[in-house]
Structure 1
């Protein structure tokens, strides 16, 4: 029998329900794997909480009252507030913060019976594409020595890929679920903005942030998303729409569906392996009965520049609350202004400081119209491009997820070069659309590459059968043993 940690969520769920395994032994298997790991994927491990939750799950399973995720051990990105468990956002400034409340998404998971293994590493305040900006050190990609796992949900993606948890939560502001999923051969879903509550998630850019799952298979991601999504009256951006049965939607098939191929996503120069993979994805869908339709999204070329105005602007506002007064780190100064300055200087890392400075600049009186207002207008044009494409009866768009495979730690010291990792994912956030990254192949050096599907608003279920076709055609990818 293979290791318990090799079971997918769907397989573990069925075995738990059939009483072939117990939640406590499944949880212990994952805790043992975490202890033996050198990936630095977890900031905080919660063995006592995990055992307590697993024992309660075994009691319910024995009584026949198990819920949708009963006994499934999960990792939680350390951006989600967890009651009584340290929540750092990957930052020194929140290094000693223990919330007295639970985020809505994680509460939904616990209400479904999931087990908390611990809090996963991330780029500081979710600002990064490599998980190198964390105050707790970089996460290693299980696919190779000294490789980044992507970011900001790098700990989530690495932990899922290395079988340190059955699944994980992530957040996606400009690609922070999909890009690390592509770099680790996992499945990542960024839902429509408003599908999952943002309440209790440490904010980066409020009009862009969205929670979603990272899992080993499309089916597992569908199972997790069904439980994560909900209406939440505590979140004014939460949308009151029925949450579909995403797992059931996997059986929908793709015959007759129209798949758009946006020409603007063909960057110059296009890496040969990525170009070939994109064409392979087109062929897989065509062979499954889909119709391939060229489309144009003319404002795509402005998306990255507009994003790196809008996101830092919102970050500069959201992060103003970290001043040493109410919670988190406090560094004393000669007066209150001195305390503010000393606390923020010591508590924030370089990338966070950089984005606060950019954001404050573009919101300043002399530059608001020239930068921030113009970026918001561009954002509207990007959303309009997608709307026009979907008005032509396009069911989904197919693109690469990331411009290349995982790179070495320290391999992209130029911030602008690092920002280019989000070139294919940012437009989805700017338009508030759902997107999913699926492992689809390997680079010339044997590292994972992903393909991205973009859907209509609140039609994540429509992406599921298309993603499954790609998954089944590509096969599953497992990192080499460390």
Structure 2
């Protein structure tokens, strides 16, 4: 008897297409896995059983009628809870939107559904995507499936944990400063932040509008490529002014060799303060694997990269303050009862509707946008953003991709990091990519020798070179499969493998 844990998204879709099993059988197996595992992982805020079975039934009906079914036919997918989906709540893990029912479906979600995916639920997250551990969720924390005493990363921690625990085969998250790549690293799965504009943001609740990007999680690089095809193949979304055509087949050159291509390494980042030895060792082994496959390793310089975190934590809070001003206790969201005036209602609704981290980011943004302060901080931060973008452009004249850590350490235990500024530093290797809008992907390398937790490498490439990113990611995955780390790519975490999910 087959189990979903052993099947990739490509294999599930092929099995449904060939009649080896039905989409409804896959949906029931996925819901069974969630039922058996969720109490220990807590990856979801809402499990959408009815929607899943209805979508699966539609897929089966199309196949029975002889109609063409999508490339993700029957594949169980989780969606981060900042993405609208009719029939579910979209809470952003906040009391502010605790009872908000989606009135439309986000373009990225709809495209996955149009490709045949089965929506199994809305994944937990840090409140309004503010955080790196998923602990700022107003409802509950999510646990890392590889060690439930450790954080899954964030802000898309629920999406990453759902895939790592086998509670979904694919998931979508959003990445504003590393919120796909860092939890992917902590949970040992593949996580991709596409180029800004490659994937529509319409229907995704905004955090930083010039930084946000939607991307997929999967346990294999091929599955992420399949998801990218679904997200981009229909072309530019007229409902998102930043959306652009990305007319490539991400599977087309996935298994092409990397022989003769070059991998850039930034020496100052490989020696950065706070980078653990186990991450350094894993990256060194990754470079050896790529050399063995014929790639050249070259040193490149990003002279302004040290200023990325400072620039980000000016730009992002300013955009967050602007975007979250709409939650005023009047139009939708939490409304404080028994207020005598509109000013009191707005003030108390925001005070009681938002959590501590959401308040912290908005207060910082309000200060940075105030008269006299804007010129001192916000304008220089945008200038630094331009310098970093130019640094990357020069670096890519010497290499095809850049290899660097996804995170400075493996996942830490709950309670080990309580200072918000220390938490912010966990995105030190990912933030620069959001600042300049380029694509990035985190690829699991197996378990580290010291903590025995997942460790990953991050690849970055120029804008709209996302297919090249996945080609290199697949090369790293081949090295993992051949003994660099855990065999067979990124498996389901052992504590959860086989607990439900039988087909």
Task: Please classify the TM superposition score into its range, dividing by the shorter chain length.
Answer: over 0.9
Structure 2 counterpart of 1:43: 45
Distance apart, 1:441 and its partner CA = 3.1
For 1:2 and 1:405, the matched residues in 2 are separated by 32
Counterpart for residue 114 of structure 2: 111
- Which residue of the partner structure matches residue 400 of structure 1? 405
Matched, 1:279 2:287: no
Question: TM-score, length-normalised on structure 2?
Answer: 0.94
> Could you say if the C-alpha distance between residues 346 and 311 of structure 1 is closer, same or farther in structure 2, counting changes exceeding 3 Å?
same
Alpha-carbon distance in structure 2 between the residues aligned to 1:283 and 1:418: 31
Q: 1:310 aligns with which of 296, 312, 315?
A: 315
- Secondary structure, aligned partner of 1:247: coil
Q: What are the superposed Cα offsets for residues 97-156 of structure 1, whole Å, 9 maximum, x if unpaired?
A: 112111110111111111111101000001110000001111001011321100000000
The alpha carbon displacement at 1:442 in A equals 2.1
In the aligned structure 2, how far is the partner of 1:472 from the partner of 1:342?
A: 54
Equivalent position of 1:373 in the other structure: 379
1:137 maps to 140
2:501 maps to which residue?
none
> Which stretch shows the higher mean deviation, 368-377 or 65-74?
65-74
Question: Corresponding residue for 1:481?
Answer: 495
Whether 2:436 is the aligned partner of 1:422: answer no
Find the counterpart in structure 1 of residue 252 from structure 2: 248
Choose which of 66, 71, 79 in structure 2 pairs with 1:68.
71
Separation in 2, partners of 1:6, 1:117: 18
Aligned to 2:55: 53
Find the aligned partners of 2:89 and 2:273 in 1 and give their Cα distance: 44
Query: Is the partner of 1:260 in helix, strand or coil?
Result: strand
Match of 1:389 among 386, 395, 407: 395
Q: Secondary structure at the match of 2:445?
A: strand
- Partner Cα distance (1:477, 1:25) in 2: 24
Does residue 349 of structure 1 match 2:363?
no
8 Å contact kept, 1:226–1:243: no
**Residue aligning to 1:12:** 12
SS in 2 for 1:175: coil
Aligned 8 A contact 2:107 2:203 in 1: yes
Q: How far is the alpha carbon of 1:344 from its aligned partner?
A: 0.5
Q: Offset at 1:87?
A: 0.5
1:253 is displaced (CA, Å) by 1.5
Is the partner of 1:117 in helix, strand or coil?
A: strand
Does residue 1:193 correspond to 2:199, yes or no?
A: no
Q: Number of aligned pairs?
A: 480
Matching residue within 124, 128, 134 for 1:125: 128
Question: Does 2:164 correspond to 1:161?
Answer: yes
Matched residue of 1:317: which SS? helix
What CA distance in whole angstroms lies between the structure 2 residues aligned with 1:2 and 1:123?
A: 34
- 1:208-266, CA deviations, whole angstroms, 9 ceiling, x for partnerless residues? 00000001110000000111124111111111x34211112212220110111012312
Local SS of the residue matching 1:69? coil
**1:269 to partner: Cα distance:** 4.6
Residue 471 (structure 2) pairs with residue 465 (structure 1)? yes
1:265 equivalent in alignment to 2:262: no
Runs of 5+ consecutive residues of structure 1 not aligned to the other structure: none
Give the Cα separation in 1 of the matches to 2:367 and 2:94. Answer: 23
| TM-score normalised according to structure 1 size | 0.98
Residues in 1 aligned to 2:454 and 2:342: alpha-carbon distance in whole angstroms? 50
Number of the residue aligned with 1:288 = 293
Q: Is the 8 A contact 1:5 1:165 kept in 2?
A: no
2:230 equivalent in structure 1: 227
Q: 2:246–2:464: 8 Å Cα contact kept in structure 1?
A: no
Offset at residue 63 of structure 1 (A): 3.0
In the alignment, the residues of structure 2 paired with residue 369 and residue 249 of structure 1 have an alpha-carbon distance, to the nearest angstrom, of: 47
Answer whether contact 2:4 2:166 (CA < 8 A) is retained: no
* 1:3 alignment partner in structure 2: 3
Q: Deviations over 1:180-232 (max 9, x none)?
A: 00001100000000000111000000000000000111000000011112411
Check if 1:325 corresponds to 2:319: no
TM-fit CA distance, 1:295: 0.3
SS at match of 2:252: helix
SS of the residue 1:130 aligns to? coil
Mapping 1:429-448, distance limit 5 Å:
429-443=434-448, 444-448=450-454
Which structure has the higher relative contact order (CA within 8 Å, separation 6+)?
A: 2
C-alpha contact (below 8 Å) 2:440/2:458 kept by paired residues = yes
| Equivalent-residue separation in structure 1 for 2:147 and 2:75 (angstroms) | 28
Q: Report the aligned-residue RMSD.
A: 1.1
Equivalent position SS for 2:191:
strand
Shift of 1:275: 1.1
Give the corresponding residue for 1:213.
216
